[in-house]
Amino acid sequence: MNFLRSKCLTYEFDNPTFRTACMNPISVDNVVDTYRFYAPLYDRLFGAVLEPGRRALTEAVCAMRPTSILEVGVGTGLTLERYPESASVVGIDISKEMLEIARERAENLPGRSIHLASMNAEAMDFPDGCFDCVAIPYVLSVTPNPERLVAEIRRVCRKNGTILVLNHFSGSRFWWFLESAVRPLSKRIGFRSDFCYDEQILKYDWEILSVRKVNLFGLSRLVTIRNT
């Protein structure tokens, strides 16, 4: 273990400078390759274990009754059937293999307005302010440039619209050992375990409406945000 890594493990809870410096990079190719592998296995690997968070997210969306919803990182479409039937839903993902499974799910929801597209969420093709609600389930820590993604979701969400971020954030004493163990494997497993809530959520000038811990032992948080 080199000196910088040792310092990071020692100070990561108390020193955001070290935490930011140690956040492992992920490239677009890493994401595409990883989820090409995950696609046929994703529902079995991550379906049930992350389901409480997805359910909390879709319940929050339904309570708002938006007319238009964008889901960034729709994956295999596990959330699609639980969005409001009256809403127009757009789901994007960078993985074509994941989208193929999502399209099969959407076909089993006749009469619903669901449009799925392959797109890099860091450079979306949508006009400004075109969605009432933007949902980001388990995506923020797997995108190569989180700041660019945040800038894009804020751009396409209407002013005073709602952004829901569902993600794992590092710093939990319970999950510290596992986070440390998988940190060097971020490129292979497709997400960063060293992902700080303060650095990735609190630094923006949006309005945080609520924060709720979800999934096993508070593994993830559902953050509801007004796009001010």
User: Where does residue 2 fall: left (phi above 0), alpha (psi -120 to 50 degrees), or beta otherwise?
Assistant: beta
Could you tell me which of 149, 167, 141, 170 has the C-alpha nearest to residue 222? 167
Domain range enclosing 168: 27-226
Per-residue pLDDT at 30 = 76
Q: Is residue 21 part of a domain?
A: no
Per mean pLDDT, which range of 2-6, 81-85, 111-115 is the poorest? Answer: 2-6
d(CA 212, CA 38): 27
Tell me, yes or no, whether 17 lies in a domain. no
Q: How many domains does the chain have?
A: 1
Which has the closest alpha carbon to 83: 104, 107, 57, 118?
Answer: 57
Condensed to tens digits (0 to 9), the pLDDT of residues 41-65 reads 889 988 898 999 999 999 999 999 9
Where residue 146 sits, what CATH number does that domain have? 3.40.50.150
Least confident of 122-136, 170-184, 198-212: 170-184
**4 in a domain, yes or no?**
no
Could you tell me if residue 20 is inside a domain? Answer: no
Q: Which long-range contacts does 113-119 make (Cβ < 8 Å, 24+ apart)?
A: 113/87, 113/88, 113/89, 114/80, 114/89, 114/90, 115/88, 115/89, 115/90, 115/91, 116/74, 116/77, 116/90, 116/91, 116/92, 117/90, 117/91, 117/92, 118/92, 118/93, 118/94, 119/92, 119/93, 119/94
Q: What is the mean pLDDT of residues 107-127?
A: 97
Give the model confidence (pLDDT) of 133-160 as tens digits. 999 999 998 888 999 999 999 999 999 9
Least confidently predicted of 41-50, 64-73, 179-188, 208-217: 179-188
Query: What band does 171 get if pLDDT is binned at 50, 70 and 90?
Result: low
Residue 167, domain member (yes or no)? yes
Residue 14 has pLDDT above 70, yes or no: no
Residue 211 lies in a domain: yes
| Residue 119 domain flag | yes
Is 1 part of a structural domain of the chain?
A: no
Write out pLDDT tens, residues 28-37: 887 788 778 7
* pLDDT at position 77: 98
